[in-house]
Amino acid sequence: MPISDCKILDLPKITDPRGNLTFIEQNRHVPFEIKRIYYTYDVPGGSDRGAHAHKNLHQLIVAMSGSFDVVLDDGLETKRFHLNRSYFGLYVCPMMWRIIDNYSSGSVCLVLASELYDEADYIRDYEEFLSAVRASKEGGSPK
């Protein structure tokens, strides 16, 4: 899939003097059924997370607190997204190499995922990812 399929989604924001509220509904605000939710926190400064791709998994990444960057790579193009508002989510389609870096102090990264955890869905080697991208362009499918 091309990197242009990945984009920032505006999530509903209900403003109230007592505090704001944002909600996310599957197949309405995200283009997939939500089967898993996880979050990262207490990431040391200068560290990065991710550095992998998924063969079939769709994700929505939200900066619940603080900020961080998500670097996406489709094998041909690389794009950096800065997330710093809890009412924006980055939709990440399958077969997208991703690295999350530039974490601010106290940031929390929430990820909504379309599938349950499956180690077989991960591609953790960048060269293997590039080979899978080339194979899919030649009519094959990711291994």
How would DSSP label each residue in 6-70? -EEEEPP-B--TT--B----BTTTBSS---EEEEEE-PPTT--EEEEEESS--EEEEEEES-EEE
Beta strands 88-92 and 59-65 are: antiparallel
CA-wise closest residue to 89 among 20, 12, 5 = 12
Q: Does the annotation count 52 as an active-site position?
A: yes
Please give the Cα distance from 92 to 64 (Å, whole number): 17
Active-site residues, by number, are 52
